[in-house]
Amino acid sequence: MKTGVIIARFQTPYLHEGHRQLIKQVRDSHNKLIILLGVSPITGSRKNPYDYHTREKMIKKDYPEIIVLPVSDHPSDRVWSENLDNLLKSVFPSEHFCLYGSRDSFIPYYSGKFETVELPEHGDYNATELRKQYADKVFDSNDFRAGILYAYYNQYTKVYPTVDIALFRNNRTEILLGKKAVNNKWRFIGGFSDPEDADYESAAKRELMEECGEMEITEMTYETSRKINDWRYRNEADKIITLLFSCDFIAGSPAAQDDIIDLDWFKLSDLPQMLTDGFISDEHHELFDFMINKYLKK
Q: How many domains does the chain have?
A: 2
| DSSP conformational letter for 12 | S
Based on the domain organization, do 15 and 115 belong to the same domain? yes
Distance CA 104, CA 118 (A): 9
**Last residue in a domain, options 123, 153, 183:** 153
Task: Give the percent of the chain with pLDDT over 70.
Answer: 98
Average pLDDT in the chain: 92
Distance CA 96, CA 107 (A): 18
Q: What DSSP assignment string belongs to 104-127? A: TTTGGG--SSSEEEEPPP-SS--H
What predicted TM-score, i.e. pTM, was given to this entire model? Answer: 0.80
Smallest CA-to-CA distance from 274 within 189, 175, 207, 182 is with: 175
Based on the domain organization, do 163 and 241 belong to the same domain? yes
Based on the domain organization, do 17 and 104 belong to the same domain? yes
**Last residue in a domain, options 88, 122, 153:** 153
Based on the domain organization, do 147 and 196 belong to the same domain? no
The HSE-up count of residue 162 (CA atoms within 13 Å, CB side) is 19
Based on the domain organization, do 148 and 183 belong to the same domain? no
Smallest CA-to-CA distance from 125 within 223, 22, 219, 42 is with: 22
> Is 38 within 8 Å of 73 (Cβ atoms)?
yes
Higher pLDDT, 119 or 217: 217
Q: What is the mean pLDDT of residues 23-36?
A: 93
Based on the domain organization, do 136 and 37 belong to the same domain? yes
Quick one: pLDDT at residue 43?
A: 75
pLDDT tens for 65-117 read 999 999 999 999 999 999 999 999 999 999 999 999 876 778 889 999 999 99
CATH number of domain containing 171: 3.90.79.10
Based on the domain organization, do 96 and 216 belong to the same domain? no
Q: Kindly give the residue spans of alpha helices, DSSP state H, lying in 69-199.
A: 77-91, 127-135, 142-153
CB neighbours of residue 35 within 10 Å: 24
Quick one: pLDDT at residue 121?
A: 67
Nearest 5°: the CA angle 151, 157, 162 is: 120
- pLDDT > 80? residue 263: yes
| DSSP conformational letter for 280 | B
Based on the domain organization, do 42 and 120 belong to the same domain? yes
**Last residue in a domain, options 153, 185, 209:** 153
pLDDT tens for 160-209 read 999 999 999 999 999 999 999 888 899 999 999 999 999 999 999 999 99
- pLDDT > 80? residue 226: yes
Based on the domain organization, do 128 and 106 belong to the same domain? yes
* Structural domain range at position 265: 159-295
Distance CA 180, CA 167 (A): 17
Q: What DSSP assignment string belongs to 13-55? A: SS--HHHHHHHHHHHTT-S-EEEEEEE-SS-S-SSS-S-HHHH
Phi, psi of 85 (to 5 degrees): -60, -45
Phi, psi of 165 (to 5 degrees): -130, 130
Q: What is the mean pLDDT of residues 147-156?
A: 87
Based on the domain organization, do 258 and 198 belong to the same domain? yes
What strand order describes the sheet that includes 33-39?
A: 67-72, 33-39, 3-8, 97-101, 115-118
Based on the domain organization, do 140 and 240 belong to the same domain? no
Quick one: pLDDT at residue 123?
A: 59
- Residue 249's alpha-carbon distances to 183, 246, 253, 265, in angstroms, are 25, 10, 10, 11
pLDDT band per the 50, 70, 90 thresholds, residue 122 = low
Based on the domain organization, do 119 and 165 belong to the same domain? no
pLDDT tens for 81-92 read 999 999 999 999
